[in-house]
Structures are given as structure tokens and as C-alpha cells.
Amino acid sequence: MDTFFSAGETAEIAGRLGNIEIRNVVFCSFENRFARSGGLAPVITNILPYIKEVNGIPSVILMTPFYPKIMSSGRLEPAGKSFGVPFFNKIVQVELFEYTWHYSKPRKGSLREYYLKAEGFFEAGGKLKDPYIYSESDPRANKHAMDENAVFFCRAVPYALKALGIREDIILHLHEWQTALISLTSKQAMLNGVVHSCGTVQTMHNSYDSQISWDLLTACTNRTLRRPVTRFPARGLTAYQIGLQLVDAPVTTVSEHFAEEFTSDILQTRHFAPHLQNIFRRSGVYGINNGVFCDLSPEFSGITSGMKKDVTAEIRKIKLKNRKKLLRLLSSYRPAERFGELTYRGGSIYRLPDDIPVVLMSGRLAPLQKGYDILLQAMERFPEDRIKVILTPMPASRSDLDYFYEVACKCRGNLTVFPVKMKKGYHELQTGSTFGIMPSVYEPFGAAVEYMANGTVNIARATGGLMDQVDETCGFLYREDAAFYTLENIRDFAATGDIVQMRKKNPWARSMADSLYRALKKAAHEYRHNPDKYYKMILNGLMKVNSFNWEASVRKYYLVYEKVRS
């Protein structure tokens, strides 16, 4: 605080926060329902009604960018509000658009989402329509654009609140580093009369961070703060190094085990976030598990109520029926982008016997996180007709699929790839597959619960939120040999994200692939030779889904909001 504010200003800010009431909660996010990348958008589009209804908060809104290359204003309404934002010695005009969200859970209601539109800003896009990609071919240009847009957003949010007439008793709930500097700009706004009382809470869905240049820091402050800013190192500090030390409540993340890893796992302590360890150890990081992003699949929705004696037999019947639907889909649905064959003894996959597992890995293609290449390494070791694997990556470019093509040729008959958003059949994949694979290098929360909700057993690397979701009663956890989990191997792994085949030489990657291969063999053996245990795992997973709910999450977040006053 004393870097940016005088003792008198700090006392004034503390006094206003000490009397704050929780009447207006404003979620700030670079993802929204119309511009998605990872798991943040699903959190936003699930949690807000619960924040409002469960905690009895009068006003809950979303504040997010309008992306002209991704979104259409056709689904939004002009809010009738515009305002100027001081930025780089000029005034940038911002127009607000709004979306009214009518929800039915946890009860019927509505809330507003506000989209900030400014000429020359938020022009992310590209093939994947990713709100974090401004330049697909130039990482340095992409970082510069991302930084500038993030800082501008942080500068603009308090002015947007003023334009909407929201000026006191505000809790700004910040998500990811792109919004972290609002913990600075909101305090400045209190002193400048833009808002009256405004506290900040930060949730880290990842430990990704970005160094903010001195020029950008001065752009998000006014003239009276420019001299103190020169106390920073010449290259500046990161968004989190500043934001986490100015936030008004304990820092949170989206799962309990991932919170522990921030200060205990070498991937976080030495690779992603060594620069934040002093902050984490001083203030702590608190895990609040996400709720579930989907309902139980209709086929299984009533299976856990009434608990018949032959419930596992009923689950087996449903699962085999879903499997037939999936095999029918795989034998007939052939979009032009699909490659790799699934066959049985050289013929139709529809004739696949019931005791041969069908394995699914879905989600975005993130070479540093998701582990598609680790599964491909493990796949190369299976003979034909032992397991069948379906992959649904979403690549940024065709070259990202080179290793997929290579393994699809080597494992002909065992592997197929859908590298495009499926127009049909995704439900059949999730409900008909035998196992869902999550070989994540790290995982804040993850989609294991989604597999469970669809009656599919997980095979997951023991990391992050996957350890909160998966145990031996409902899935298979594995972990590589700890001897290979070294900083040198981690750095080499990260450096080979563009050519993942090179990771076959990395001892850590090889050990992860070895462990996954053994886990797949064990799971396939249990499925084939101990089917009752397998179907009981499905039942346990369906029951465990209920332990992850947004009601419990938002009650914990409310306790964090209350810390703003202390």
C-alpha cells in the first residue's frame, strides 16, 4: 500500500472498507458466455445466480470485455451508458452493452451482464475465437496486446460502475491475472471520487501471470502515483505481484488440493510461480471447490434415488445401451476433419465386444497442461483390439496434430480423432465410453465430475482438483516416479510444447506415459474381469457428484467477502 498510497490515503481506504456492506457483487472476467477459452467461462455461467440467491445479495453482475472479432452485438442490448477512461494521456470512449440472464437455478431470477466496448481494444480472435489470442504467430506481440488490454480493462471497470450508478458497498470479485490490477485501480477510484466504497477479492484459476511494464503501470494510474511507481524494478512487476498484495481478502483458487500445490508442488513453486511464493506463504491460498458444470445424464438421473438392490445391474444395462449408441455413432459419423480408424478385427467397430474398453479424452489442446501427448505415448504400446481410444482436441493450427496423425497411423484401428467441434454425438461419447482420461500435467479443478455425471469412470493423474474428485471408489489415480519430477525435466517439457514428439526423450514425460499405460492396463483388466466392481464405481461416481455443488461454494465465497471488512 505504501508504494502507491500515503498513510492518510491508506487510512481513508481502510475506513471505507471497514464499513462496507455486501450489497453489490461484481464479477470481473476476460471470459464470458460468448467468448470462451478454458474453464473460467463455465464457472461464470454457473456460479453467479447462486452467489445472488443463496447469499441473498441484492445485486450481482458480470463485468467483461466486448470482443468485436468473436462476438456479435446482436444478442446484446445497448445499456444506454457511455463514459471516458483516462489511458495513456488520452480519453478512451467506452460503450456498455448488457445481457439479461434469466436463470432457473437455484430458483427463478435474473441478473445483468455488462460488456465493455472500446474502439481499438479487445480485438482478440483467430481461428479458435479465443479471448486470449491477439496474434497467433507472434507470442511477443500477443503478450503486449494482452497486457495492454488487461490494464485498460482494469482502469475502465471503476468508471463503468460509476456510469451504472453503482458507487458504494461493492465487492469486486476478480478472476485471473488479467483483472488483478483492479485491486489497485479501485482504490485509486475511491480516492478520486469515482466510487465510494469498493473492496476486492481475487480467485486464481491458474498461476499464469504477466509482467506489466512501467509504461503500462503509469497508464493505469494518475499523475500523483507516477513517482512512487518508479520504485519498481526497471522491467516492472507482474500483475499478481502487485494485485495480490493490494487485494482486500484472502486469495482463493478453485479446488482444495490445487491450493496446497501453490506452495508445495515444484511445478508451481519453481516453474510457474516462484515469484509469488513469499506472498502465498504470508497470506495463504484457500481452495474452494467448484460445483458441477452439468446435471446428471438423464439416463442416470434417477438411479441413485430409491436405491434398489439390483442398482448395479440397472447401471450395466444403461451403460451397455449407451455403448451401442456410441459404436453406432463411431461407425457412421465421419466429418471431413476426423482421422484415424476404429475397427474390430479389421471390420466395423459396431461389432466390438462388450469387454473391450472404449476410452475418451476430451477438452482443449493445451500441450503444457492437458497431456494428450502423454496418452498418445501410452497408446503406442497397446496391440490392436485391446482398447479403443477417441480424442477430441481443439487445435490452434493443423501442425498441432502432427503427433496425432503419426500415432493414428501406427495404431490403426485403435485410435480416432475429432479435431473439430462436433455437430452431434458428444453426449454419446461421454455416456457410452468406458473410461474418461485426464492425464493432466496440472489441473486446477478439471472435468472429472462431468465424466462421473455421465456414468463414465475416470482415469486421472493424481494432481490438483482431480485428487479432490477421484478416488479408488469411483476411478483410477496414477502418478509417475517422483525421481523424474525435477525442475530440469519440467523446463525441457515446457520448451517442447511445439514439437511434443521430442518429449519421448524427456524422463519425466516417459515416466508419466509409463504410469498411464499401467493405469490403463489395470482399468481394462478390472472392466473385463471384474465388471461388478466397474459398475459399482459408476454408482459411486454418480453419488459423489452431489458433493460438488455451487451452494456450498458460494457460502464459502461469502465468508471471503466478509473478510474485506476486517
CA distance 550 to 137: 39
For residues 517 and 378, membership in a common domain is answered with: yes
Shared domain for 333 and 262, answered yes or no, is no
pLDDT in the model for residue 136: 86
pLDDT (0 to 100) of residue 271: 97
d(CA 360, CA 207): 27
The amino acid sitting at 81 is K
| Phi and psi angles of residue 444, each rounded to the nearest 5 degrees, phi first | -60, -55
Q: Same structural domain for residues 263 and 323?
A: no
Q: Are strands 435-438 and 457-461 parallel, antiparallel or unpaired?
A: parallel
Pair 89, 51 in one domain? yes
pLDDT of residue 364: 87
Q: Say whether 50 sits in a helix, a strand or coil.
A: helix
Is residue 85 situated within a structural domain?
A: yes
HEC readout, 315-362? HHHHHHHHHHHHHHHHHHCCCCCCECCEEECCEEHHHCCCCCCEEEEE
Residue 305 lies in a domain: no
The closest alpha carbon to 378, from 412, 407, 413, 405, belongs to 407
The verdict on residue 465 lying in a domain is yes
Asked whether the beta carbons of 90 and 83 are under 8 A apart, the reply is no
CB-CB contact of 253 with 205 (8 Å): yes
Q: What's residue 97's pLDDT? A: 98
Q: Edge to edge, what strands does the sheet with 251-253 contain?
A: 77-87, 90-103, 109-118, 59-65, 24-28, 170-175, 198-204, 251-253, 285-287
Residue 298 in domain: no
Backbone φ, ψ for residue 477 (5° rounding): -105, 145
Structure confidence at residue 248 (pLDDT): 97
Residue 297 lies in a domain: no
Is residue 172 located within the same domain as residue 216?
A: yes
What pLDDT was estimated at residue 384?
A: 94
Q: Which alpha helices (H) appear in 193-255, and where do they start and end?
A: 214-219, 226-229, 239-246
Q: Are residues 133 and 213 in the same domain?
A: yes
300 falls within a domain: no
Domain count, the chain: 2
Residuewise pLDDT in 10s, the chain (566 residues):
888 899 999 999 999 999 999 999 999 999 999 999 988 999 999 999 999 999 999 999 999 999 999 998 888 999 999 999 999 889 999 999 999 999 999 999 999 999 999 999 999 987 788 999 999 889 999 999 999 999 999 999 999 999 999 999 999 999 999 999 999 999 999 999 999 999 999 999 999 999 998 888 888 776 555 556 666 666 778 999 999 999 999 999 999 999 999 999 999 999 999 999 999 999 899 999 999 999 999 988 888 765 566 899 999 999 999 999 999 999 999 999 999 999 999 999 999 999 999 999 998 899 999 999 999 999 999 999 999 999 999 887 778 899 999 999 999 999 999 998 888 999 999 999 999 999 999 999 999 999 999 999 999 999 999 999 999 999 999 999 999 999 999 999 999 999 999 999 999 999 999 999 999 999 999 999 999 999 999 999 999 999 999 999 999 999 999 999 98
Rg of the chain over all Cα atoms, to the nearest angstrom:
25
What domain range is 96 assigned to? Answer: 7-291+552-565
Within this chain, do residues 560 and 528 fall inside the same structural domain, yes or no?
no
**Per-residue pLDDT, 137:** 86
Of 185, 3, 164, 4, whose CA–CA distance to 87 is shortest? Answer: 185
Whether 287 and 233 share a structural domain: yes
Q: Which residues pair with 91 in a beta bridge?
A: 86
Do the domain assignments include residue 311? Answer: no
DSSP strands (E only) in 4-108: 24-28, 59-65, 77-87, 90-103
User: Do residues 511 and 408 both lie within one domain?
Assistant: yes
Specify whether 558 is located in the same domain as 432: no
**CATH number for the domain including 281?**
3.40.50.2000
Residue 212 lies in a domain: yes
274 and 236 belong to one structural domain: yes
CA-CA distance, 379 to 176, in Å (whole number)? Answer: 35
Sign, CA dihedral 67-69-73-75, equals negative
Give the helix, strand, coil percentages of the chain, each rounded to 5: 45, 20, 40
- Specify the pairing of strand 475-478 against strand 358-362: unpaired
My answer on whether 251 and 278 are in the same domain is: yes
